[in-house]
Structure 1
Amino acid sequence: MIQSLYQRLSLTISTVLFIILISFVTWTQCVSEVSRSQAEQKLHLGLAEHLANDNPLLKQGVYDYKALESLFHTLMVLGPSFEFYFVDPSGKLVTYSAKPGDIKKQSVDLRPLLQLIEEPHNLPIFGDDPRSFDQQKIFSVAPVYNNDTLQGYLYVIIGSSAYDSIFTQISSSDHLFQHSAGLLILVIILMFVAVLLFRYITSPLKQLGDFIHKAEEAKFDLTELTMPQWSNSDNEVHQLGNSVNQMLVTINQQMAQLTELDSQRRQLLAHLSHDLRTPLASLQGYLELIEKQHAKPEQQMHYLQVALKNCTQLKSLIDQIFELAHLESGHANVQFEVFNLGELIYDILAKFALKTEQANITLTVQPKTFDAQVYSDIAKLERVLTNLIDNAIRHTPSGGNITIEVSEHNKQYALAVRDTGLGINAKELPYIFEARYKASNSQGCKKTHAGLGLAITSRLIRLLKSEIKVDSELGKGTEFTFAVRKATDALN
């Protein structure tokens, strides 16, 4: 069973070529036969008329048919390629040059004879062959009159049976057979060359198909495949091969990313489960102590305060989880507007005044007064600054400083949140904005926190069409910087 494209193409094209060859040979023979008949009939068109005018038996009308038959035999000896017949006005044979046993038909159709007499330019015209029931041949014809009375027609067939026999022998001769054999060999060679060309053309396509099949078996893992090299030519198959290679590289990268994302998702779920379980277990424990009612009122109040603290921590974590999920879903709306950056910063500082005072941390703004009109989403920018300041407070020891610095750079204002806290290890800096990651400086931190603030901050910064950068050194502090657009330049 033929399966490959190369085999199907070879068989199809070979069959088509063979049919075309047979059709061409047949058509050529037909054209050659018609052309030969036309030439011979035109060459001998006046033969019957000359015989009728030059021969006394025919010139004055036919009376002696035996003498006419003898004349026909004599003419046939002189011209063996002709057959002579005398036909009466009804088409019946009166006399002829052939032997009586060779005649199959005793009459001929007069319509071709009259057509040749009236339209001698419309050649070839074929008439009935009395030696055959259905065969027709070219001829020459002339009417024979006695005074003005039509006695019949001199009907001369061009190409007698002897001529046909000799022509058949010549056609079947060894010389013609050799020519036919040579033509057949030439056709076979051409078909063989065509098959080789098809193999050359389709081999890259077969190579590409085999490679794609191997890629499917390897589940598109390029580590188990050797990609074929394709030239950068105008060959469409090579161009397709390069596209397939690039497609497989992209698929492999995306599969690797999906695998990594799935791993990160699992780790994030594990971390979140732990973060949720810790305050929930503490809350449950203290509530159970209160339920037993054995503790003193002072102890019960302490238990309630701890339980409330755990509830607050649990709510903060759940809120952050929902906020992060909303940001990653791509459905978060951004509403850009013009507002005063200084007013927003001092409003945020007012929220943290009590918290920094209790932690003995100094929170300042540089410069202290400035008028900066920016174009951004005020709610999301407030959330970013709140997260960064809260993160700085959490990792800054008592007596430390947190500074919010605003500077002008071209068409933007750069904001920096700088602290003198614990700092972050340089190896951990590329990962601190991942939701699943918790830096080592958070281990053992006594201040409660959810751990998703920087992940949320990073995604909010992207929505604000900016980029956050971090610079940190262990024991010296951390600085987060990002930029917001000026209102005048953003609206122009």
Structure 2
Amino acid sequence: MNSLFSRLLLSASLIVFILILALWQWFQFNQDFSRDQLQQSLHQDLALHMSHINPLLSQGITSNAALKEAFHDFMLLGPSFEIYTLDTLGNVVAYDAKAEKIKRLRVETPALRDFINGAELPIKGIDPRSHNSKKIFSAAYLQNADGKKTGYLYVIIGGEEFDMWQSLVSEHQAPRFWIGVVLASIVFALALFALLAKYLTSPLSRLEHDLGVLGSHKLNEGLSLPDEYRGSSEIQQLSLHINQLLERISQQHQAINRQQQVRHDFMLHLSHDLKTPLTSLLGYIDTWLLMPVNERNSDLIEIAANSGRHIQQLLSQMLELAALENGQITPEFKRVALTPLMQELVLIFAPRAKKQNVELDFDLSSNLFVLTDPQILMRVLSNLIDNAIRYTPAGGRITIKPLAHESEDLLYINDKPIWLCVSDNGSGMHKHELQALKQLKSKPKFNRTDVLPQLGVGLAIVRQLLGLLKCNIDIESVPGEGSQFHIELQQIK
């Protein structure tokens, strides 16, 4: 009974049964009305003829022992008739029946007068042998020789005998009637259900067929159902939602393909970054091993150690990048002073810069406070400085300083922003790297579903860390001349 088919069939059968029963009642009412109208019309002059035929009634006599015998003779000729005489007030005077059968001794005279005056039939009057039922009748005035009205002759059409035989016939016909009603309801309900099911399920069948056809298509072909489906609003909404879902699936599939391609390119780039120091490490170690023991130079071991540290740094950056992609790093914004941050950066990178003869020019005199996560900002600056040292030749210069920077597309309401500029005069950035980092300008909010740009690991980390800080960035770079990174920070007092 929980299936859609069963519930529809049961509902259709119940509705049809109620309709057939209502139609039968309406038909029965019309049939009884027509029958009463016909019988009363046929016997309309019955009481008038009886009053003329019987000598006593023709003289206006309403109460006489001989009347009972006359009534008995009349009722033998017509067993369905019951004859009464009434006085002018409608009180029952004479009749041919046992006294205990008479339940009401008075008949309402307005109905009798309406009948005699020719009102529209059928007209029902009180049945003296019943407490509350009314039946069709024939009536006529009784008048004496002087023409004075002495009462009424009142003839019930379809009396007690008629009711008894009719009830016997109904008892025999009732089972057949109800069996016929039930069978007709079931047959009609099945036919109606079949038509409705065909009409209502045809859009579902078509939808199922179209979905089966779409199953053989590829996701990158732009899947969608062919057109709108006629039928109920639910079917139309279902097809619309399926099309929206298919469009989203197609877009996500295309995004996954792009992400996989970019990841593939990124891994190729990363493998090159790892291969170079690893090859250098193995090459210098092999060279050192092939040399005679007394001629081995510690400089080769130092160069190999530097290559090993480079590999270690790359692996550490890869782990950091994986943590960023998995959403394991959450920023904690707070008030941070820039000067201590700069001093810590000097301590970290001064030895390496001195070794490569690169000057570090960090502004340590500013007394500025910004709203940021100090650890994440430290990682951003560390990666930028690390790249700058790597690609800046001897005698070069790396600077970090805050500066005023006006931007037309930014509106500041409370505190003014501060832009931290990280610049160098190294090899600069290529066009595709510059475009990848500039994506932050239009998409400052980091999304883990974003594809990785074709950058080195360090710059890829910078891109995602700045996304976590919701920072804007402006980049200027010319190959062979150097790069400038302008990072927007929110200044607070």
Question: Which range, TM-score by smaller chain?
Answer: 0.5 to 0.7
Do the aligned partners of 2:220 and 2:254 also contact (CA within 8 Å) in 1? Answer: no
Change (3 A) 1:296 1:424: same
Task: Name the counterpart of 2:342.
Answer: 345
- Give, in whole Å, the separation in 1 of the partners of 2:204 and 2:319: 51
- Give, in whole Å, the separation in 2 of the partners of 1:360 and 1:274: 26
Within 5 Å, which residues of 2 pair with 1:193-212? 210-212=209-211
- Give, in whole Å, the separation in 1 of the partners of 2:404 and 2:68: 135
- Give, in whole Å, the separation in 1 of the partners of 2:420 and 2:206: 57
- 1:469 Cα offset (Å): 3.4
Aligned residues: 386
- 1:371 Cα offset (Å): 1.5
Task: Name the counterpart of 1:150.
Answer: none
Change (3 A) 1:334 1:259: same
- 1:344 Cα offset (Å): 1.5
1:123 counterpart (133, 141, 162): 133
Do the aligned partners of 1:365 and 1:403 also contact (CA within 8 Å) in 2? Answer: yes
- 1:330 Cα offset (Å): 0.6
Task: Name the counterpart of 2:144.
Answer: none
Q: Give a deviation string over 1:69-105, Cα, whole Å, max 9, x none.
A: 654467x5xxx985889656799xxxxxxxxxxxxxx
- So what's the TM-score if we normalise by structure 1? 0.60
Change (3 A) 1:252 1:468: same
- 1:401 Cα offset (Å): 3.1
Task: Name the counterpart of 2:356.
Answer: 359
- 1:58 Cα offset (Å): 9.5
- 1:461 Cα offset (Å): 0.9
Q: Give a deviation string over 1:410-456, Cα, whole Å, max 9, x none.
A: 53211121222222333442236975735xxxxxxxxxxxx310111
Task: Name the counterpart of 2:474.
Answer: 469
Change (3 A) 1:230 1:370: farther
Within 5 Å, which residues of 2 pair with 1:23-42? 23-33=21-31
- Give, in whole Å, the separation in 2 of the partners of 1:320 and 1:363: 23
- 1:271 Cα offset (Å): 4.4
- Give, in whole Å, the separation in 2 of the partners of 1:425 and 1:352: 25
Q: Could you tell me which amino acid in structure 2 is paired with residue 320 of structure 1? A: Q
Do the aligned partners of 2:380 and 2:465 also contact (CA within 8 Å) in 1? Answer: yes
User: Tell me, what secondary structure is at the counterpart of 2:387?
Assistant: helix
Change (3 A) 1:465 1:202: same
Task: Name the counterpart of 2:222.
Answer: 223
Task: Name the counterpart of 2:431.
Answer: 426
RMSD across aligned positions (CA): 5.3
- Give, in whole Å, the separation in 2 of the partners of 1:275 and 1:472: 22
1:308 counterpart (305, 308, 312): 305
Task: Name the counterpart of 1:376.
Answer: 372
- Give, in whole Å, the separation in 2 of the partners of 1:346 and 1:64: 137
Task: Name the counterpart of 1:327.
Answer: 324
Q: Does 1:405 pair with 2:408?
A: no
Change (3 A) 1:464 1:230: farther
Which consecutive residues of structure 1, in runs of 5 or more, have no partner in the other structure? 92-114, 126-137, 141-153, 165-187, 439-450
Do the aligned partners of 1:83 and 1:160 also contact (CA within 8 Å) in 2? Answer: no
Task: Name the counterpart of 2:454.
Answer: 437
Change (3 A) 1:270 1:209: same
User: Tell me, what secondary structure is at the counterpart of 1:351?
Assistant: helix
- Give, in whole Å, the separation in 2 of the partners of 1:58 and 1:239: 82
- Give, in whole Å, the separation in 2 of the partners of 1:277 and 1:355: 22
Do the aligned partners of 1:289 and 1:295 also contact (CA within 8 Å) in 2? Answer: no
- Give, in whole Å, the separation in 1 of the partners of 2:214 and 2:7: 26
Change (3 A) 1:357 1:374: same
Change (3 A) 1:337 1:248: same
Q: Does 1:459 pair with 2:464?
A: yes
- Give, in whole Å, the separation in 2 of the partners of 1:385 and 1:33: 100
2:422 counterpart (396, 417, 420): 417
Which consecutive residues of structure 2, in runs of 5 or more, have no partner in the other structure? 84-94, 102-125, 139-154, 166-187, 406-411, 440-450
- Give, in whole Å, the separation in 2 of the partners of 1:274 and 1:218: 38
- Give, in whole Å, the separation in 1 of the partners of 2:484 and 2:227: 49
- 1:353 Cα offset (Å): 2.8
- Give, in whole Å, the separation in 2 of the partners of 1:486 and 1:42: 107
- Give, in whole Å, the separation in 2 of the partners of 1:248 and 1:13: 35
Change (3 A) 1:474 1:269: closer
